Chains A and B, each alone.
Chain A
């Protein structure tokens, strides 16, 4: 039996890989490589005492938490002093700002879909669209996926556990298990003969088209909101159908991840992200580590083996801060590993994927201990196709996190947006970050 991989190779003899995968052709012939965007999230802010760097904008000395960034020093901008506006009168820490992080718009407090008994407040989903989705909508990318969402242990459907919004009230679920993510993104039909592959294609298309047609045959009278939910579901099946067409085999695709534990899973996802960008599956992706309310995971390998991340942040003794700092130092090491993988993945013009990517690392608040939004840590990294002015520690004041979102738009070539999100009272991108 001919494997699918070999079938593609054989087909390539007559028709080039570029004919089979036209998006590669566009990439190969484009004059300047368009940048990619990766939004990266870790929960509960940081411990600022041990995150803050000293020494000035360019001569800064990396803090204990950030020390391992040294080798990518020239490709990072660390921002100190960004404020987040939760945009609502009442503030349920973590939950109310997870939707704000990438949308710049508040959570819906008129909805009663979710209730927090302890705060006696009800709320719904976020009221904005996250910046990655807006960019995808504007650029209408021809990649197999407009955007890809990855994560690790992101939990069930809840506003504190989702950060990517395709439209107000509509979140995207991250693929938060490395094995499942690999299967969906790189595990197309393999080891099928040509005839069997054709039959599988017919089956897939016929089965999905039959199910899709049923969306017209429900009998219940539905309100507008319910009808919209059904429409979205049908759209999801259509994009699933498209994405199931084989996408692999013409680039160095990652191998199926093994060794997936709580300690290694983030790195496995980082390897997939490098593969996703390297193989051109999308230009816009995100990664969400766990949840905003509340991440009570244990991280015994850094000494956090009791209580959990969030519970610990309710204590303010030095020992606790030391443990949390170790955790955030470990987060930095994971971020560095991601940058390493992107740097090690060749891009079609001979540079690296990292050179042509803007990675933005943020959190849902500044400090878990006080739930403060007065200083939310952000790090921008990568080359952004030569546009990021790296090697700098930026101290800012009176600057809303919305500025980062506008910076993302600018980096991706969208320059006609001055404000992003309904909480935005400023304008433009972060000053001096892009050339």
Chain B
């Protein structure tokens, strides 16, 4: 067994630092340069460093994070391309050249199970569960690497059969071949059927019709279409300029923002060539975000970003069942509705981390207790001394807990990972993993501090646990508390942020600090980009990230962060392998 020193790794902290270091097209900071160097075996592949200079976006962002970038970047050291989210870009020494970068090569993507389920409900009027697992990119669903094996093929087979049995096929009381090909096929495949497909499905229909009804024939066709790769995979065609054609654009936009295939209106726009320019796409993104169906897309992002699925996982939270399904559902739902409300209000990223206004949910009244000051219509005003920002919502606090006990470690790790993109350092080589004897403390914090008395563990746990302590006045169910196990809670929290070590007390101060942090703005922008693209962004995306971050934190707000990501070349580029 070998347990040598950790492989050189392109520190994500350094990548963030780079993102924030501005887009002047020239990096003079030694530390940042070191972090940007592809190094031995890196993904550079001889690509010519860009010469584009700063973009408008870069100009906006460059003043914000330069100082931070240098210091944080120093931890990056040299980076080997062998392992690292950002190492495959092939962009040479330049961290970024312009936000109009060609974008990441996107592997062939297969629809996620929720996307399949929603599409089938839309097109065929049947709501059933698809028993096929999705891969995860970080916490986001994204089927980009694994193959469909026999068990998954069986999952699709069973699903298609069950849907075909109960599908809404009313046009098929008489001959409906054209309806199947022109409407059902179009909606399922996100593009008109090609000639060979039309011939094949018409033949299947005719075969079934020899001994059956038109309804039965239609169900055969539906069963086949639901197992077709043309439905299950994004069959994306690019135009001469390398951007997606209009049907592929429609598919991506809808799957992302609505969590399902495009509706007839969007497909009509694609047919008419109305999704070809950034301005046209922007108009469409605005329409899609404004529609109620956008709840599904925003839900996927927020739910997976904050790992809220833990609430429904009996393995990690066997204790929640006794609360009843309605309460668990409300816990999981509130952060999504909170995010949507801010999005609709044109709110900035800062408000996401500081707002004390949430959406009313009667099933959460017991959890909130006295923390609800006022209910007005569909919104509630929460006690701003205790509840401010999405991290202070009960669903988030509960999801990031263990059964019947809080976990400052989980909470801190979620913030470091999902909001700061600066996860803790790896343990040193040859670390003695034997922790000192646990002496029973009174509070969770005391117990964890005993663990942190060991120097070899502190490196990993100090930032995670330290951050998490700020949230200790929210218990394992997200209820406010002043005491843990009968002892008063100390929620002072110390952790590294950029080059500084900062100390805050409690969830409200933590939210305020994060709201003003350029690191947080950059990281949330990255998370949105990862969710949108289904792949880890490369360094080529740094300028775009800067642009999104500056906007999200400033007057543009969260909605413009989404619009700008989806009108960028990054989003509009087609599938393929690395150049």
A153 contact set on B, CB distance < 8 A = 315
Query: Does B149 contact A232, Cβ atoms closer than 8 Å?
Result: yes
A170 contact set on B, CB distance < 8 A = 146-147, 149
A221→B477 CA distance, assembly (Å): 49
Is residue A222 within 8 Å, beta carbon to beta carbon, of the partner chain?
Answer: yes
Query: Does B433 contact A370, Cβ atoms closer than 8 Å?
Result: yes
Residue of B87, B157, B194, B238 touching A217 (CB-CB under 8 A): B194
Taking the closest CB of chain A, its distance from the CB of B434, in whole angstroms, is 7
Q: In the complex, what residue of chain A is closest to B433 when comparing beta carbons?
A: A370
Residue of B7, B131, B435, B576 touching A221 (CB-CB under 8 A): B576
B12 contact set on A, CB distance < 8 A = 117, 120
A226 contact set on B, CB distance < 8 A = 107-108, 575, 577
A170→B145 CA distance, assembly (Å): 9
Q: 1/0 per residue B263-300: CB within 8 Å of A?
A: 00000000000000000000000000000000000000
Q: 1/0 per residue A292-328: CB within 8 Å of B?
A: 0000111000000011100100111100000000000
B318 contact set on A, CB distance < 8 A = 298
A434→B298 CA distance, assembly (Å): 58
Q: Which of A118, A153, A170 neighbours the largest number of chain B CB atoms within 10 Å of its CB?
A: A118
A4→B153 CA distance, assembly (Å): 24
For chain B, the count of residues having a C-beta within 8 Å of the partner chain is: 88
Taking the closest CB of chain A, its distance from the CB of B568, in whole angstroms, is 21
Query: Does A311 contact B83, Cβ atoms closer than 8 Å?
Result: no
Known A-B contacts A112-B88, A120-B423, A221-B576; A240 and B150 likewise in contact (beta carbons under 8 Å): yes
A307→B194 CA distance, assembly (Å): 55
Known A-B contacts A90-B4, A117-B12, A233-B229; A123 and B83 likewise in contact (beta carbons under 8 Å): yes
Q: Decide if the interface of chain B is mainly helix, strand, loop or mixed.
A: loop
B2 contact set on A, CB distance < 8 A = 85-89, 91
Is residue A223 within 8 Å, beta carbon to beta carbon, of the partner chain?
Answer: yes
Is residue B403 within 8 Å, beta carbon to beta carbon, of the partner chain?
Answer: yes
A88→B1 CA distance, assembly (Å): 9
Query: Does B577 contact A173, Cβ atoms closer than 8 Å?
Result: no
Query: Does A210 contact B157, Cβ atoms closer than 8 Å?
Result: no
Query: Does B1 contact A89, Cβ atoms closer than 8 Å?
Result: no
Is residue A18 within 8 Å, beta carbon to beta carbon, of the partner chain?
Answer: no
Q: 1/0 per residue B464-502: CB within 8 Å of A?
A: 100000000000000000000000000000000000000
Taking the closest CB of chain A, its distance from the CB of B503, in whole angstroms, is 23
Within 8 A of B (CB), among A203-228: 203, 206-208, 210-211, 213-226, 228
A156 contact set on B, CB distance < 8 A = 133-136
Query: Does A236 contact B82, Cβ atoms closer than 8 Å?
Result: no
Query: Does B423 contact A237, Cβ atoms closer than 8 Å?
Result: no
Known A-B contacts A115-B138, A307-B402; A121 and B88 likewise in contact (beta carbons under 8 Å): no
Within 8 A of A (CB), among B83-97: 83-85, 87-88
A86→B145 CA distance, assembly (Å): 23
Is residue A264 within 8 Å, beta carbon to beta carbon, of the partner chain?
Answer: no
Query: Does B153 contact A240, Cβ atoms closer than 8 Å?
Result: yes
Taking the closest CB of chain B, its distance from the CB of A219, in whole angstroms, is 5
Q: Which of A125, A174, A223, A224 neighbours the largest number of chain B CB atoms within 10 Å of its CB?
A: A223
A6 contact set on B, CB distance < 8 A = none
Query: Does A243 contact B228, Cβ atoms closer than 8 Å?
Result: no
Query: Does A120 contact B11, Cβ atoms closer than 8 Å?
Result: yes
Residue of B133, B153, B211 touching A199 (CB-CB under 8 A): B211
Query: Does B7 contact A223, Cβ atoms closer than 8 Å?
Result: no
Q: In the complex, what residue of chain A is closest to B141 when comparing beta carbons?
A: A156
Q: In the complex, what residue of chain A is closest to B407 when comparing beta carbons?
A: A311
A308 contact set on B, CB distance < 8 A = 315-316, 402-403
B176 contact set on A, CB distance < 8 A = none
Known A-B contacts A298-B318, A371-B433; A213 and B152 likewise in contact (beta carbons under 8 Å): no
Q: Which of B199-207, B510-518, B541-549 contacts A (4 or more CB under 8 A)?
A: B199-207
B460 contact set on A, CB distance < 8 A = 118
Query: Does A206 contact B208, Cβ atoms closer than 8 Å?
Result: yes
Taking the closest CB of chain A, its distance from the CB of B41, in whole angstroms, is 9
Is residue A246 within 8 Å, beta carbon to beta carbon, of the partner chain?
Answer: no
Q: 1/0 per residue B217-257: CB within 8 Å of A?
A: 00010011101111001111110000000000000000000
Within 8 A of B (CB), among A77-106: 83-91
Query: Does B228 contact A158, Cβ atoms closer than 8 Å?
Result: no
A122→B438 CA distance, assembly (Å): 32
Query: Does B196 contact A236, Cβ atoms closer than 8 Å?
Result: no
A111→B5 CA distance, assembly (Å): 19
Within 8 A of B (CB), among A223-260: 223-226, 228-230, 232-234, 236-237, 239-240, 243
Is residue B361 within 8 Å, beta carbon to beta carbon, of the partner chain?
Answer: no
Residue of B87, B150, B316, B437 touching A236 (CB-CB under 8 A): B150
Residue of A123, A239, A306 touching B403 (CB-CB under 8 A): A306
A240→B153 CA distance, assembly (Å): 7
Query: Does A236 contact B134, Cβ atoms closer than 8 Å?
Result: no
A42→B44 CA distance, assembly (Å): 42
Query: Does A211 contact B426, Cβ atoms closer than 8 Å?
Result: no
Chain A interface (Cβ < 8 Å from any Cβ of B): 83-91, 109-115, 117-125, 149, 153, 156-158, 166, 169-175, 180, 184, 199, 202-203, 206-208, 210-211, 213-226, 228-230, 232-234, 236-237, 239-240, 243, 296-298, 306-308, 311, 314-317, 369-371, 373-374
Q: Can you identify 20 A-B contacts, CB atoms within 8 angstroms?
A: A90-B5, A90-B426, A91-B1, A109-B82, A118-B417, A118-B426, A157-B135, A158-B135, A203-B220, A203-B223, A206-B204, A220-B238, A221-B576, A224-B577, A232-B147, A243-B150, A298-B403, A307-B402, A311-B402, A374-B1
Apart from the given pairs A111-B83, A219-B194, 5 other A-B contacts in the complex at a CB distance below 8 Å: A88-B2, A217-B197, A220-B574, A298-B403, A370-B434
Chain B interface (Cβ < 8 Å from any Cβ of A): 1-7, 9, 11-12, 82-85, 87-88, 107-108, 131, 133-138, 144-154, 157, 160, 194, 196-197, 200-201, 203-204, 207-208, 211, 220, 223-225, 227-230, 233-238, 315-316, 318, 402-405, 413, 416-417, 423-426, 433-435, 437-438, 460, 464, 536, 574-577
Closest 3 CB pairs of A and B: A117-B423, A223-B577, A232-B147
